[in-house]
């Protein structure tokens, strides 16, 4: 194993029409499981890392389906079971040109909405970890989950565990204008931040990757992703900021869902293996490249 990563986040039951069918015409739905942090942890396992997932799940058959999914893919799940909570669901209508992929969430009153500071004693699950990751999606579930992310980062810092934050902005989870103010201080607290150039423009009105770095000078490492163009890493070392760009791998995209989670895992695996900047970015691109070629949120094959 090349390292141990711990993630905090919600996973959902994913329902989608077979193939490229439309939801309004569907007579059957495929049942899968998805969620940003869990997708990234599964990808981390595929890259040879140990992975532990911290979450709250509804104590019902759908919740147990979600937990079983993590175990099937080698992720150790530390679950707080919540009787009476709802299992979150999302519906995906796979895109086909010129129709984009459409995602509909049904996640109100889920177990993770009740997450708060103090819900977990983070010291024990972080023992022996090399990195901890979470995303802006968890913060979008409410003030309590946001406080839990802050507490997780504090526990990680106290235990000398590196903190990785994927901004992962989902506008549907936030009141207008709320995400920008909530996500910026969390990104500034993390050791490593992933953010899409389009996300940063939407949230903070930055135009270039250099603008994003100017806004986020605190993280030791910042990775700004620009879709099929490539990704730029800013890494502070020896008192200087080093900038590295790596172009994306040319890909015939089937669907983009899950590609960002895969990129984060591939990059993280390369980082923990001591790879240089170009190889770290290439590791991220390789994992994203595989996911972009399917309608799955992750791929089971090693790169």
Q: Which residue has the tokens 């020896």?
A: 238
Residue 168's alpha-carbon distances to 93, 110, 200, 297, in angstroms, are 20, 19, 10, 15
Q: What is the rounded distance in angstroms from the CA atom of residue 119 to the CA atom of residue 113?
A: 11
Cβ–Cβ under 8 Å, residues 266 and 230: no
Q: What is the rounded distance in angstroms from the CA atom of residue 34 to the CA atom of residue 48?
A: 20
Q: One of 191, 261, 276, 297 is an active-site residue; which one? A: 261
Q: What is the rounded distance in angstroms from the CA atom of residue 38 to the CA atom of residue 6?
A: 10
Q: Beta strands 89-93 and 102-106: pairing type?
A: antiparallel
Report residue 125 CA to chain centroid gap: 19
Cβ–Cβ under 8 Å, residues 215 and 252: no
Which string of b and e fits 190-202 if b means at least 16 CB within 10 Å?
bbbbbbbbebbee
Q: What is the rounded distance in angstroms from the CA atom of residue 131 to the CA atom of residue 160?
A: 9
Active site residue 261: yes
Closest CA to 107 of 151, 77, 62: 62
The DSSP bridge partners found for residue 57 are 81
Q: What is the rounded distance in angstroms from the CA atom of residue 259 to the CA atom of residue 5?
A: 19
Cβ–Cβ under 8 Å, residues 192 and 233: no
Cβ–Cβ under 8 Å, residues 120 and 134: no
Write out the catalytic residue numbers: 261
């Amino acid at each position: 194993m090349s390292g141990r990563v711990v993630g905090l986040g919600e996973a959902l039951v994913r329902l989608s029409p077979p193939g490229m069918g439309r939801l309004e015409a569907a007579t059957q739905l495929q049942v899968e499981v998805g969620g940003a942090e869990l997708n990234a942890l599964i990808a981390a396992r595929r890259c040879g890392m140990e992975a532990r997932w911290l979450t709250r799940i509804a104590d019902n058959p759908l919740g147990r389906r979600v937990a079983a999914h993590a175990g099937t893919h080698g992720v150790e799940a530390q679950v707080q079971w919540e009787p009476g909570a709802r299992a979150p669901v999302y519906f995906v209508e796979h895109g086909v040109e010129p129709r984009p992929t459409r995602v509909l969430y049904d996640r109100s009153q889920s177990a993770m909405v009740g997450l708060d500071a103090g819900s977990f004693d983070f010291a024990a699950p972080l023992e022996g970890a090399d990195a901890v990751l979470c995303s802006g999606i968890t913060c979008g579930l409410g003030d309590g989950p946001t406080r839990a992310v802050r507490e997780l980062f504090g526990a990680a810092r106290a235990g000398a565990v590196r903190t990785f934050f994927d901004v992962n902005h989902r506008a549907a989870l936030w009141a207008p204008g709320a995400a920008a103010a909530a996500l910026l201080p969390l990104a500034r607290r993390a050791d490593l931040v992933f953010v899409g150039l389009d996300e940063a423009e939407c949230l903070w009105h930055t135009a270039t990757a250099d603008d994003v770095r100017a806004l986020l000078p605190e993280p030791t490492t910042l990775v700004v992703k620009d879709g099929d163009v490539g990704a730029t890493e800013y890494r502070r070392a020896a008192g200087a900021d080093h900038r590295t760009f790596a172009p994306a791998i040319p890909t015939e995209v089937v669907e983009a869902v899950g590609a960002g989670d895969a990129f984060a895992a591939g990059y993280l695996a390369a980082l923990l293996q001591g790879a240089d900047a170009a190889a770290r970015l290439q590791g991220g691109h390789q994992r994203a490249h595989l996911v972009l070629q399917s309608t799955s949120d992750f791929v089971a094959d090693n790169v």
